[in-house]
């Protein structure tokens, strides 16, 4: 089947096509061939390589040009500079040059590793996203941010580099484990509550803890997420102003994900992070209990994993909160960290920040945040039991 959605993603002066379909691998290969690369370096993690990587590299080799499959270990733990360096060496050994196209075949981890590698190799070569996880199809590929993790936190080392194209096939989501579908739903819920409240009713009726969604539903979810992200990034390619809203739930979410060594999936961390953010907003007097209940209901309906499993050290989580990557956007108030907070669905709180102007962030006392993290994560365990 051909692509059923062709949309130009525009972020200020950057733009690239996003093409989506179901069972559209032939079209994906045809689009890759159109880039007329000297070689194609298909990057994926070892699990995705087995499922789709060998096949895609073979098809590209037959129909487009020399293709090599380069792999990295599965998981967030391997999203670091060491992996990027090793892959750069392998790409060079395979003959990569300035006309090479890097194909990021995989989830958000591979997308970030490949995006950063593409921005560094010869100071910038072309790359195409072929996202295979829900997080990647509806979220991570819609960003110019290409970053990997540092010891002290997530996504702290990176660049901005735009893909030349995104080619997505919902058929690839059929092999995605339910844990990863639920993780994607965490980001979908974020788009709904923070940016696009018109999604909430329909989303609420289709969310299910078993994580079973048909292709029509997945295409709707992805199209809505494209629209939500476009709303906040069209005038903000670096996600430093209106696009900061996409960080909703990420202050606590990143800390939990990082403290768990990647065992808590990205979107599951974000889901809990949003519940924490709603409660923080309520305690600061900005939101009511209804907003907190809405968050809890949607997150539970999506079957997002139990929040603070026993293997996550809460002391480490609280330590990492102080290293969040939004530090420095607002005047550094001692003992505070900037967070995205809502007063109601789709209504984000702003703080004046000269000379940029109002930013969708609120300085939150770390002591209050830590208290809410402690309480919410205990309740979360209860919720999941
Ligand atoms: N702006 C951005 O760049 C941005 C935005 C959102 C998320 N992210 C990043 O994305 C990452 C999370 O992405 P993710 O959840 O896709 O993680 P991931 O890439 O680790 O994929 C999750 C798991 O799913 C497996 N998988 C992927 N596709 C599969 C398929 N079709 N069938 C079976 N298994 C499959 C992978 O092997 C892995 O085990 C985080 O590192 C996060 O920081 C970045």
CA distance 39 to 27: 19
pLDDT attached to residue 20: 97
Tell me, using a 6 A CB cutoff, whether residue 153 lines ligand 1.
no
- 5-175 folds as Rossmann fold (3.40.50)
Helix H or strand E encompassing 62: helix 54-63
Q: Which two tokens stand for residue 129?
A: 């996203």
Which of 133, 237, 260 to mutate to test ligand 1, by most ligand atoms within 8 A of the CB atom?
A: 133
Q: Whose CA is nearest to atom 9 of ligand 1?
A: 108
pTM of the model: 0.92
Q: pLDDT 10s per residue in the chain (385 long)?
A: 789 999 999 999 999 999 999 999 999 999 999 999 999 999 999 999 999 999 999 999 999 999 999 999 999 999 999 999 999 999 999 999 999 999 999 999 999 999 999 999 999 999 999 999 999 999 999 999 999 999 888 889 999 999 999 999 999 999 999 999 999 999 999 999 999 999 999 999 999 999 999 999 999 999 999 999 999 998 899 888 999 999 999 999 999 988 988 889 999 999 999 999 999 999 999 999 999 999 999 999 999 855 577 788 889 999 999 888 888 888 878 899 999 999 999 999 999 988 888 999 999 999 999 999 988 766 654 443 3
Q: Which two tokens stand for residue 14?
A: 């950057």
Q: Whose CA is nearest to atom 44 of ligand 1?
A: 140
> How large a percentage of the chain has pLDDT more than 90?
83
Tell me, using a 6 A CB cutoff, whether residue 104 lines ligand 1.
no
pLDDT attached to residue 262: 82
CA distance 87 to 118: 11
CA angle 163/165/167 to nearest 5° reads: 125
Q: Which two tokens stand for residue 177?
A: 């484990």
CA distance 11 to 229: 10
pLDDT attached to residue 366: 95
Residues of the chain with CATH 3.40.50.1970: 5-175
Options 187, 247, 257, 279, the catalytic residue: 247
Whose CA is closest to 329, among 360, 366, 370, 291?
360
pLDDT attached to residue 307: 58
Options 79, 145, 229, 326, the catalytic residue: 145
**Cα-to-centroid distance, 230 and ligand 1 (Å):** 21
Q: Which two tokens stand for residue 134?
A: 């829900």
3 state DSSP class of 209 = coil
CATH for 182-384 is: 1.20.1090.10
Could you identify the residue written with the tokens 């070689």? 39
């Amino acid at each position: 089947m051909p692509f059923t959605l062709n949309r130009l993603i525009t972020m200020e002066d950057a733009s690239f096509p996003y093409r989506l379909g179901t069972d559209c691998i032939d079209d994906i290969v045809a689009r890759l061939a159109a880039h007329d690369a000297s070689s194609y370096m298909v990057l994926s993690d070892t699990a995705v390589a087995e499922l789709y990587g060998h096949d895609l590299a073979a098809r590209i080799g037959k129909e487009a040009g020399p293709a090599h499959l380069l792999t990295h270990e599965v998981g967030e733990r391997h999203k670091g500079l060491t992996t990027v360096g090793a892959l750069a060496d392998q790409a060079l050994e395979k003959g990569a040059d300035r006309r090479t196209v890097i194909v990021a075949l995989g989830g958000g981890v591979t997308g970030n590793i490949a995006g950063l590698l593409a921005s560094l190799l010869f100071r910038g070569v072309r790359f195409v996203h072929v996202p295979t996880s829900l997080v990647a199809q509806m979220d991570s590929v819609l960003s110019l941010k290409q970053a990997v993790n540092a010891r002290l936190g997530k996504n702290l080392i990176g660049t901005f580099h735009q893909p030349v194209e995104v080619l997505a096939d919902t058929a690839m989501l059929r092999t995605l484990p339910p844990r990863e579908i639920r993780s994607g739903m965490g980001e979908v819920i974020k788009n709904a509550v923070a940016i696009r409240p018109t999604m909430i009713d329909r989303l609420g009726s289709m969310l299910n803890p078993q994580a079973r969604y048909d292709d029509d539903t997945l295409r709707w979810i992805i199209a809505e997420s494209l629209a939500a992200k476009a709303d906040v990034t069209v005038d903000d390619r670096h996600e430093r102003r209106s696009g900061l809203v996409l960080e909703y739930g990420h202050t606590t979410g990143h800390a939990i994900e990082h403290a768990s060594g990647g065992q808590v999936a990205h979107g599951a961390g974000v889901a809990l992070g949003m519940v924490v953010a709603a409660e923080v907003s309520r305690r600061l007097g900005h939101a009511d209990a209804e907003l907190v209940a809405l968050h809890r209901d949607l997150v539970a309906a999506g079957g997002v994993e139990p929040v603070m499993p026993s293997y996550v050290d809460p002391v480490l989580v609280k330590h990492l909160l102080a290293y969040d990557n939004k530090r420095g956007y607002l005047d550094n108030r001692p003992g505070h960290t900037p967070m995205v907070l809502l007063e109601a669905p789709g209504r984000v709180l702003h703080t004046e920040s000269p000379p940029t102007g109002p930013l969708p962030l609120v300085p939150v006392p770390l002591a209050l945040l830590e208290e809410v993290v402690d309480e919410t994560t205990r309740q979360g365990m209860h919720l999941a039991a």
